[in-house]
Structure 1
């Protein structure tokens, strides 16, 4: 039963090693040797097996020196311009005599480049792995680390999983610096904070949490930091790798973290008082805490008239219920509750089912599984043929199944409506939960009819009320019912009326607007400066 307790309880894992514990003796910092020969042996021992690791001997005034770097992490043109060329001017000069002269030497020859000093080996190794070129000088107990990093990265493009009709069309990329700049451009506020952690014993991947210091609840910030510090994984390659470490419970089909590749969505959540978690190498950012209604709200709702946005939001809720319950209702009614169907419709349905060799539950399970296989095949196949195969495959197989008498035509309509409704959710991983639960509802409906469907709905609601996301009830603001937060749940009120932040987040400032007079004076002063 121990594994069950772990599944249903909060995560409590050991802390990962810090940067200072890497590449050190017994967890202690190992100072840099003054002898270039000793330093050279240790650095080569650590990296000489890598073909992209290079070093070159240079002359720094009257002293020997060596430059170490990874050519896959730096710009080699900058290496020549910003290190080798300046060092040629030091030949024959008493450029540096000791550690106390290192800063003056740096100002004279490397004044225009980002730099840092390394006093021990783990700092040197860390800088090398982060795109720095390290200059070690014989007799000097400090190394000069110059930032020459350059990484190949994908350009900013439109989101691939969250389609946009109206609104900004940029999306996050795999570069964490690009992602942070996309957020910073939208929130030009000194209260926007970015804090970085390193996660993954082997990968040491950068994980940044973003929050508004003047808005976000301090206890929430501490909780997020604590959970990130406790993550203990060997490698981290995507934000999805840490989702299960951040959630309060893992045994639930419903996502407890909200992921987005839209910077405007992330910025809007920050303004509300939430925390954004960005992982280097992942184009998807996580937003916490997360509530059930977040998966029915799109940032695009706020770029359209509130009447249209409210109508679309209601459509999303209805589509969720359709995709979850429609197949099970068909099975329950056609098997146990014929009296609920009008007589003329019942005769038509039964006439179509005449000659079908399987009961309704086998029919619908067969078609649902077939559609899931086609959907997965369409995703995994090359993009040029993926959509064609999934659409044509569904049409051909459905038509052939009806003509062969394996399924009824009504059932094809039910499966098609269910599939279309499942795509309405703006967030893909939320639709996965409905796809899983749909099969459970179908099986229970086949066993005990509508009573089973109703019982499962009650159990699902009870389960949803028990869920928490960083201490916030998953069904908030519906359960518990918070009247002040109802302006942006099922309907979207006009922007001028929706001026409060969600109270369940316990933000420092509950209102989104301030004093108009102070805002006007600020705008005027900014204009004068411009």
Structure 2
């Protein structure tokens, strides 16, 4: 933890964003003085320029005291009920301070309130910035910190990017405690652990590592912790900021971490033996390690009958190939390999392209770029008009381009089918890889036809086989082929038949069930009540 502490305190030579070191809760500084006036001068000097910093003078027993707080971080109702009212009741009585025993005073007047003591100024500053009210009493070299944190937060709602037909409808929010509770509601296991780190020189953002200690491989957990300790950033605002620090250093368009806003998805990954990473302020949690097939699996697959789930999963694989290769195949065949097209279809396609001034490759690049612009415009514009702009824009521009003779009708069909297929992936950032590679395939198809497309496919497969996520081959369990893990890859076998965890994760316990009970599934001769 020493290296992490140095990073958090800004002691790295590569980071310097403020004119003084940022303190942390563990850092020691000058201890509090007995004089309330001297303590007040130091504390107010630190936050004198903040309009939301307030203090109230009090009388604790027969001693003067001051309560400090940020009104933007605490509940004012709790401030009145849990601090001011008990202190009014304590006025005039100084028996508990005969020996300066602050603990006895807390037990008598704040017995049921979350608290901590602060013995130096850094601890006071840290507590104030984390939603505590700090009470400093004259003659006492220790401050009482009462937790009154109340931050505005978004309520739990349905996922916005990973919709589902059948299954739980809740999603993560920007509040860490809420996200942890959503996971614990699903995994009532005392071995489920959440360890917290503070990352970011200025933001001190809470980063939580979650795992099940009697399932997850210890080496994997230690590797995740080690990478978090090495994170060296000024500010951390979302899990996307830390994602690149957690992935293996590889130049690849394919995502090496799995992100989701669905608690049931993270819970399922934890039970499999993976590690979850949650960032305070982010509704997206990360899961590592990640393999290629994870991006074709949806939690809804396990809420549907296995025949239906297997069919939908195969559609996802086909859609991936269509979104990646369909435009390049059109360019290659229409340019170099006319003999592969039936004569009647070839005549129809060439008739539509008659009068089009551009070759097929320029034609499809123009339409693909136009669709990418429309897609981004629809995402970034206000929600009320975003969908209208993207849909109407695509229809109007496509129809106008065909009527103007700039593109052919069949190309509009190709681009539309490719775009629809790219949305089939359950995880949005995986479709980004296909969008990028699609242009490379189009150019290769235009240069040397189907040979170029096939060559690039081979290069892509070689690249995928060389990727690793925390030492796990990216194409596992397909390459290397792990026969024991094939029950939940291209198709989903019945739940009662899929009772082992992925072997490539090297979990402590490979079986998901105990030896007790029946895991063979129901038989046809049972349940006959006639």
* TM-score normalised over the length of structure 2: 0.93
Aligned ranges for residues 459-478 of structure 1 at < 5 Å?
459-478=459-478
Tell me if structure 2 keeps the 8 A contact 1:95–1:105.
no
Partners of 2:75 and 2:292 in 1: CA distance: 46
Please list every run of 5 or more consecutive structure 1 residues that lacks an aligned counterpart in the other structure.
Answer: 1-11, 520-530
2:181 paired residue number:
181
Q: Which runs of 5+ in 2 are unaligned?
A: 12-20, 520-530
Q: Deviations over 1:107-137 (max 9, x none)?
A: 0010111011111111111111110000111
Q: Which residue of 2 aligns with 1:507?
A: 507
State the alpha-carbon separation in 2 of the partners of residues 477 and 24 from structure 1. 44
Write the distance in 1 (CA, Å) between the matches of 2:4 and 2:35: 41
**Does the 8 Å CA contact 2:61/2:92 hold for their aligned counterparts?**
yes
How far apart are residue 27 of structure 1 and its match?
6.5
For each residue in 1:43-68, what CA deviation from the matched residue of structure 2 results, as whole angstroms up to 9, or x when unmatched? 11111110000001111112211100
Between the aligned partners of 1:79 and 1:13, the Cα distance in structure 2 is 34
Residues 267-316 of structure 1: CA deviation (Å, up to 9, x unaligned) = 00010001111111110000111110000000000000000000000000
Counterpart Cα distance in 2 of 1:513 and 1:291: 24
Q: Provide closer, same or farther for how the CA distance between residues 465 and 101 of structure 1 changes in structure 2, counting only shifts above 3 A.
A: same
Please show how residues 310-389 of structure 1 align to structure 2 within 5 Å: 310-389=310-389
Separation in 1 of the partners of 2:178 and 2:371? 38
Distance 1:25 1:425, change over 3 A: closer
**Cα distance in 2 for residues equivalent to 1:155 and 1:24:** 30
Query: Are positions 1:60 and 2:47 aligned together?
Result: no
Moved over 4 A (4+): 12-15, 18-22, 24-28
Superposed CA offset, 1:488-530 (max 9, x none): 00000000000000011000000000132799xxxxxxxxxxx
Describe how 1:27-426 pairs up with structure 2 within 5 A.
Answer: 28-97=28-97, 101-426=101-426
Task: State which drifts further: 426-435 or 467-476.
Answer: 467-476
1:346 to partner: Cα distance: 1.1
| Superposed displacement of residue 448, structure 1 | 1.1
Aligned equivalents of 1:258 and 1:42: distance in 2?
46
| Offset, 1:98 | 6.5
Distance 1:176 1:398 in 2: 45
Equivalent residue for 2:528?
none
Change beyond 3 A, Cα 1:424–1:518: closer
- Which position in structure 1 is the counterpart of 2:525? none
- Equivalent residues, number: 508
Cα distance change of structure 1 residues 18 and 181 upon mapping to structure 2, 3 Å threshold: farther
State the alpha-carbon separation in 2 of the partners of residues 223 and 149 from structure 1. Answer: 33
Query: Do the aligned partners of 1:258 and 1:288 also contact (CA within 8 Å) in 2?
Result: yes
Please give the TM-score of this superposition, normalised by the length of structure 1.
0.93
Asked if the contact 2:24–2:123 (Cα under 8 Å) also holds between the matched residues in 1, the reply is: no
User: Residue 201 of structure 2 contacts residue 235 of structure 2 at CA under 8 Å; is this kept in 1?
Assistant: yes
Cα RMSD for the two superposed structures: 2.0
1:409-464 CA deviation, whole Å, 9 max, x = no partner? 11111001100000000000000110010011111111111111111111111111
Cross-structure match for 1:9: none
Change (3 A) 1:27 1:195: closer
Residue equivalent to 1:437: 437
SS at match of 1:55: strand
Residue 89 of structure 1 aligns to a residue whose secondary structure is helix
Cα separation, partners in 2 of 1:482 and 1:18, compared to 1, 3 Å: farther
Other-structure match for 1:451: 451
